[in-house]
A = this chain, B = another copy of it.
């Protein structure tokens, strides 16, 4: 029995379960010469998928209504007529939300389950780790002794950004939505300070207190009022990496907030949107460094693992309520 999850309709505002449709089929999948039969092992759910559910112009084509949704997936090769892959191999790639599927192998990378747990290839050794590493380096240009603020700090990307910044000698402040998450950031991941935005009335004052020398780098995963509060604390030549804006992805109106332009002028500051796929030429080098730090124990990661193919949509929806710590992954 092969199951597939389709986009049933485009969400307006916050997505709900009714935007997803499950279909199933008893048909036996067959493969031709050059093809592989894949069985899904782990599925990555990510905030950016919300953008693909809409049909607005963006850097990546929208999902089509009535067609399968896709995301980062780890799959096991259960039959191969492709000389590059053998039965029993595990692969990583952008694949459809199906329990089984056929691929010609394009865009798939073999992953080694003896070097790291398979799910790590969706997280710290996958797009998440690359996003943290390359966003921080390419736009943030971190220097030892500087101060960085990370929003969505307990999330998949944010928790890695903060750790890399610590390795590089920065003063690291994480913003997250619960005391439990803040505790994880400071105790497990070595952040210097954390701010629970759900328990803080004056975010700008809290950031000022945590960053007495001002903010040199802001790694922004959330947008909205949290990012507005950071603006009041930036230093001259501050760099702001705009990696995500989860707080406004479900807005039905154009989001508004503090005008950033006067802050940028006064501080000769920079804000730049970051999409990891623009930096593909730097993936090998970044991956190498991440693997080394991981082996050395300098980099840790946490995952929120949900079990069962049927729970992919709810795991995705939980991202918007901040129910994950670290990378949100569905184990099939």
Contact = CB atoms under 8 A, between A and B. Distances in A.
Interface residue tally on A, bucketed by range: 35 or more
Interface string A265-299: 11111111111001000000000000000000000
B220 A261 contact: yes
B260 A271 contact: yes
A177 to B, nearest CB: 18
A270 B271 contact: yes
Contacts of A227: 261
Identical subunits present: 2
Contacts of A266: 51, 56-59, 273
A257 to B, nearest CB: 5
A54 to B, nearest CB: 11
Interface stretch (A5-13, A30-38, A237-245): A237-245
A245 B271 contact: no
A259 B257 contact: yes
A245 B258 contact: no
Contact of A259 (B236, B248, B261, B267): B248
A51 B262 CA distance: 10
5 contacts: A59-B266, A245-B265, A255-B262, A257-B259, A270-B272
